[in-house]
Amino acid sequence: MKERNYNITRRSFARRGSLALAAGFIAPFPAGAARPAPGERLAMFQAESARGVICQICPNECTLKDGELSDCRNRIARKSKLYTMAYGNPCAVNTDPVEKKPLYHFLPGTAAFSIATAGCNLACLNCQNWTISQTSPDKTQNYDLPPEDVVAGAAGKGCRSIAYTYSEPVTFYEYVYETAKLARSSGIRNIMVSNGYINREPLRQLCRYIDAANIDLKAFSESTYLKLTGAKLQPVLDSLRTYRDEGVWLEITNLVVPGWSDKPDEIKQMCGWLAENGFTDTPLHFSRFQPQYKLEHVPPTPPGILARAAETARAAGIKYVYIGNLPGSGNDDTICPSCGNKVIDRSGFRIVSKSLTDGKCSCGTSIPGVWN
C-alpha cells in the first residue's frame, strides 16, 4: 500500500500549534527553557540526574546530555529537559483492515486509521519497516497531523479505531496518549501494535485509553532476544501481564525466523509460559518470516515449521491459534473450541462470513473478544 508523505512547513506548524495551544494540548514551557522545534513537546516520564536527563518510558532508560538523542531517535535533551520529537508529525498514515494488525477478535471486518512516526526503541535485524523505524522524525517526510486531526481523519474515513503501528508507538508515547484520549471521548477505539518494550507505569497510564493491543513476542530466550533485537525478554513478558490486568484486549504475534526463533523447545517453552500465566484465551498468531533488512540471506519460514508451532500451542492449551503471512494455509479462521464450528471465515484480511451472536457460537460457547 503506497503512503503519501508531506513535509511540515513553518506556517502550517505555527497554525496547528496555535490551535493546539488554545485547546490545551501543549504545556507551556518554563522560563529559560529551549523552545522546541516543529514536532517537539516536553516529554512525559523523565527524571534529572547528575549524568543527564533520564527517559523513563522504556527499559532502555537513556541518560542524555544536552543535544543527545535517545536510542529510539525520538527524544532529545535540551537544557536538562527531555523533549519528544515525535508529536503531530507522522510519516505514515493509512486506513487498514483491523485484521492486518493482526487483530482477529477485535471488531472484525472494520477499518483502523493507522499512523506512525519514525523511530523505534529496538534494533531488530529482521525489521520490515526499517526505513522508518531505524531513523528519526527530522529525517522523514511527514504529515502535519495533530491529535484532533487524527481523530477527525478516523471519523471521516468511517474507521471505528485508530491504530498506533508500523514503527513503535512506545517511542511516540505523548502523541499516542493525547490522541487516544481525544479518540476515547469521540467514541473511537484505540489500538497499540507494539513490541511491548515499555516500563510498567507509563504503560498503566496509557492503558486507560487503549482498547486493544497486538504485542510482538519475538522469541523466548534472553540470548535470542538480545541478539535479534538488542533488547531483553522479561520486560515484554511483564507488559503482556500488564495489558491483560488493565483490561486491554490482547493478541500476541510470534514471527518465526528460521535459525533464530524457530527452535521447537523454545516455542514449547513460550506456549507453556502463556498457558501457565493465564493466556489460553489470548489469540496467538504465528507469522511467516520473509527475508528483510539485515536478514535478507535467511529463507522464508517453511510452512511445516509454522504448522508444528501451531500444534505445539494447541497442545499447551491455547485455544485460538493462527498462522499469518501464509495465504491458503487454512489457519486464519476462528474455530469454536467446543464444537469445532467455523465462527469466522476469513480470506486474507477479508471476512467471508461470521456466525457469532452476542459473541457466542451457535453451540452456546462464548468466544472471547470485542465484537461490537
Go through 42-81 and write b for each residue having 16 or more CB atoms within 10 A of its CB, e for each that does not.
Answer: bbbbbeeeeebbbbbbbbbebbbeeeebbbbbbbbbbeeb
Average pLDDT, integer, range 252-273: 98
At residue 38 the predicted structure's pLDDT band, cuts being 50, 70 and 90, is low
Are the CB atoms for 274 and 266 separated by under 8 Å? no
Q: Write down the pLDDT at residue 329.
A: 80
At residue 115 the predicted structure's pLDDT band, cuts being 50, 70 and 90, is very high
Q: Write down the pLDDT at residue 37.
A: 53
At residue 39 the predicted structure's pLDDT band, cuts being 50, 70 and 90, is confident
Amino acid at 134: Q
Give the three-state DSSP class for 46: strand
pLDDT at 20 over 90: no
pLDDT for 187-234, tens place per residue? 999 999 999 999 999 999 999 999 999 999 999 999 999 999 999 999
Q: Write down the pLDDT at residue 25.
A: 28
pLDDT at 13 over 60: no
Choice between 159 and 29, residue whose per-residue pLDDT is larger = 159
The rounded distance, in Å, linking the Cα atoms of 360 and 344 is 11
Of the given ranges (16-25, 115-124, 246-255, 294-303), which has the lowest mean pLDDT? 16-25
pLDDT at 35 over 70: no
The rounded distance, in Å, linking the Cα atoms of 95 and 138 is 24
Average pLDDT, integer, range 249-278: 98
pLDDT for 76-92, tens place per residue? 999 999 999 999 999 99
| pTM metric for this prediction | 0.89
Residues near 10 by beta carbon (within 8 Å), at least 6 away in sequence? 38
At residue 250 the predicted structure's pLDDT band, cuts being 50, 70 and 90, is very high
pLDDT at 7 over 90: no
The dihedral through the CA atoms of 235, 196, 213, 258 has a sign that is: negative
- DSSP characters for 98-153? GGGTT-SSBSTT-EEEEEE-S--S---TT-TTHHHHTS-GGGS------HHHHHHH
**Average pLDDT across the chain, whole number:** 91
Closest CA to 170 of 216, 125, 230, 107: 216
**All structural domains of the chain:** 10-26+36-84 (no CATH), 92-354 (3.20.20.70)
Closest CA to 337 of 354, 357, 355, 321: 321
At residue 284 the predicted structure's pLDDT band, cuts being 50, 70 and 90, is very high
Average pLDDT, integer, range 18-45: 49
pLDDT at 126 over 70: yes
Residue 114 β-bridge partners: 94, 163
Average pLDDT, integer, range 176-188: 98
